[in-house]
C-alpha cells in the first residue's frame, strides 16, 4: 500500500507542476461483467503522445443472488434468498495512456492503450430492510487492483473530449470478501472530459 501512496503522490506533484498541454477532468459511466458505476478522472498531459492521471470509480457489484427473481412459496408469499451480499468497489487508480498514432489520424480521433493500478477499497454489507441500514456500518477491505485496455478520444468541440474505452478490470479478492475469488472481467467506459 505504501508503494501505491508513493505513486499517487508523484502523480499529484506532476499535476500541480503544470503541463505544456491542456489538462482534462471528467466523469462518466463504467459497465462491466459484474456491475456498473460512475467514474471521475483527472488527466495530466506532459506530451501529445502520452498522459498520466488519477481515476476513481464507485462500482456497484451485482452477484447472482441479486438478480430480481421472485419465487413464491405454497402460501403465496415471495421467498427471497437469505444470504445476499452487497458489494461496492471503489478503486483509486494511477493511470497511464499511450497514443501510438498521434498526428497520423485526422478528424480528432486519438486511439490509445491504457494501464491503471492502485488501491481498491471494497465495501461489503449484508442484506437489511432498507438501503440506509445496509450501508450504515459496512465492512471495508483494501487490496491492490488494476486495469488494462484501450480506447479512443474523440473530438474537441468547445474543449470537450468524449472518450470510449474497453478493457479488463483486475480485482482479486481476499479470503472472506465477496462470494468470488476475483471480480476480474470486461468493462466498457464512456466519459466526458473538459480541457482546462
Q: What does the pLDDT read at residue 86?
A: 78
pLDDT average, residue stretch 65-72: 57
Of 177, 67, 90, 85, nearest to 134 by C-alpha is 85
pLDDT surpassing 70 at residue 161: yes
| 188's grid cell | 466498457
Q: How many C-beta neighbours within 10 Å does residue 57 have?
A: 26
Q: Give the pLDDT score at 137.
A: 78
Work out how many domains the chain is built from and give that number: 1
Confidence bin at 81 (pLDDT 50/70/90): low
Model pLDDT for residues 108-143, shown as the tens digit of each residue = 888 999 999 999 999 888 766 667 777 777 888 899
Identify the pLDDT of residue 150: 96
Cell matching residue 69: 427473481
Per-residue model confidence (pLDDT) at position 12: 53
**Which range of residues forms the domain containing residue 25?**
2-195
- 13/54 Cα distance (integer angstroms): 12
pLDDT average, residue stretch 41-67:
84
Q: With cut-offs at 50, 70 and 90, classify the pLDDT of residue 155.
A: confident
Output the pLDDT for position 19. 53
> What global pTM score does this model have?
0.77
pLDDT at 17 over 90: no
Q: Are 53 and 27 in contact (CB under 8 A)?
A: no
Average pLDDT, the chain: 81
CATH of the domain at 22: 2.40.160.20
Amino acid at each position: 500500500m505504501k508503494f501505491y501512496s508513493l505513486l499517487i503522490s508523484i502523480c499529484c506533484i506532476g499535476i500541480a507542476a503544470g503541463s505544456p498541454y491542456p489538462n482534462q477532468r471528467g466523469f462518466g459511466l463504467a459497465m462491466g461483467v459484474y456491475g456498473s458505476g460512475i467514474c471521475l478522472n483527472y488527466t495530466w498531459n506532459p506530451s501529445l503522445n502520452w498522459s498520466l492521471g488519477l481515476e476513481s470509480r464507485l462500482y456497484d457489484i451485482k452477484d447472482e443472488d441479486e438478480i430480481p427473481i421472485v419465487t413464491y412459496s405454497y402460501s403465496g408469499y415471495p421467498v427471497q434468498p437469505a444470504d445476499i451480499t452487497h458489494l461496492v468497489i471503489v478503486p483509486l487508480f494511477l493511470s497511464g495512456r499511450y497514443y501510438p498514432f498521434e498526428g497520423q489520424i485526422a478528424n480528432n480521433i486519438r486511439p490509445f492503450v491504457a494501464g491503471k493500478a492502485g488501491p481498491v477499497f471494497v465495501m461489503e454489507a449484508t442484506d437489511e430492510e432498507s438501503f440506509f441500514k445496509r450501508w450504515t456500518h459496512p465492512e471495508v477491505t483494501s487490496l491492490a487492483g488494476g486495469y488494462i485496455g484501450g480506447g479512443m478520444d474523440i473530438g474537441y468541440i468547445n474543449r470537450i473530449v468524449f472518450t470510449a474505452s474497453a478493457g479488463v478490470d483486475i480485482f482479486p479478492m481476499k479470503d472472506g470478501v465477496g462470494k468470488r475469488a476475483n471480480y476480474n472481467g470486461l468493462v466498457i467506459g464512456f466519459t466526458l472530459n473538459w480541457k482546462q
